Amino acid sequence: MPYLVSSDFPQKPAGERFRALVERGGIARLPGTHNGMAALQARAAGFEGLYLSGAAMTASMGIPDLGIITVDEVAFFIRQIARASGLPLLVDGDTGYGEALNVMHMVRTFEDAGAGAVHIEDQLLPKKCGHLNDKKLAAANDMATKVAAAAKARRHLYIIARTDAAASEGIDGAVARAKLYMEAGADAIFPEALTTADMFREFAAHMPGVPLLANMTEFGRTPFFTADEFEAMGYRMVIWPVSSLRVANKAQEKLYATLKRDGSAKAMVPEMQTRAELYDTIGLAAYEALDASIIATVVPEPA
């Protein structure tokens, strides 16, 4: 129960825990979690770190991923995921919500909300999903300024610089940007929307010793690779950003179609999380026992 009981809460800052996850060896597997329930289910499955996707977050709000939402709206999602799971969370920081001072405000807000890491991308607004066409790139020096601002603002937050340059500037252009971003203070690099195993390997070969993040999104430009395959290509982190939302949305779509057709959800019951499973996942019994134990310590027995 990491949210309410201080002795159960992680003692080290989330950024330090995220860094340790990346540096311990192997590949950090970071499934997308679009809300607190998804975070609890990912933790129960055995994951040790999580990811909050801007695309999943905005889609769950019913709007597209075009840089519309605010820092405070993202912080709401960070808080619920960090509180529910107690795990180090990587957060999609889009373009940093403005220029240098805005980026610094984002870092402070995300750290205070419980984030362990953030990635910032080198696009211009209105930004787009990295696997779409017609992305507009920021000047490399302007992006480096944002990275430097983030590094100056953070206490412990792990900073990942994302570059979307491979599609328009090739691997050489993406590598040149990545090296500049590392010099500016990034801890790791996220090359977005690479399309072949050779591209992943070539990028990694040009960035020896640099922690790299791979994005394994469905329906995008990157073919399917496993976490082990990404590790063999030289990557230290992998995200599955929107998978949880896509599965949940498909199930909800089926539910509403069934309700409309039948006027009842009975046909969907075999596909539902039961009441007992729900209460077990959110730890209802533990919360009730905690409440009873606190009351017992302060309410005297009747004479």
What span, in angstroms and rounded, lies between the C-alpha atoms of 160 and 121? Answer: 9
Is 121 labeled as catalytic in the residue annotation? yes
Is 158 labeled as catalytic in the residue annotation? no
Q: Which of 54, 39, 147 is nearest to 93 (CA)?
A: 54
Residue range 147-169, pLDDT digits in tens:
999 999 999 999 999 999 998 99
Catalytic residue among 154, 164, 187, 215: 215
The answer to pTM > 0.85 is: yes
Is 51 labeled as catalytic in the residue annotation? yes
Catalytic residue among 122, 192, 202, 231: 192
219: its two tokens: 């329906």
Is 92 labeled as catalytic in the residue annotation? yes
Residues 44, 50, 53, 57, CA torsion sign = positive
Terminal-residue alpha carbon distance, the chain: 34
Is 35 labeled as catalytic in the residue annotation? no
Distances in whole angstroms, Cα of residue 10 to Cα of each of 1, 86, 90, 114: 11, 7, 16, 11
Hey, which residues does 159 pair with through a beta bridge?
Answer: 118
Residue range 9-67, pLDDT digits in tens:
898 999 999 999 999 999 999 999 999 999 999 999 999 999 999 999 999 999 999 88
What span, in angstroms and rounded, lies between the C-alpha atoms of 187 and 27? Answer: 16
Residue range 222-249, pLDDT digits in tens:
999 999 999 999 999 999 999 999 999 9
Is 162 labeled as catalytic in the residue annotation? yes
Is 181 labeled as catalytic in the residue annotation? no
Name the 3-class secondary structure at 6: helix
Catalytic residue among 19, 111, 122, 129: 129
Is 154 labeled as catalytic in the residue annotation? no
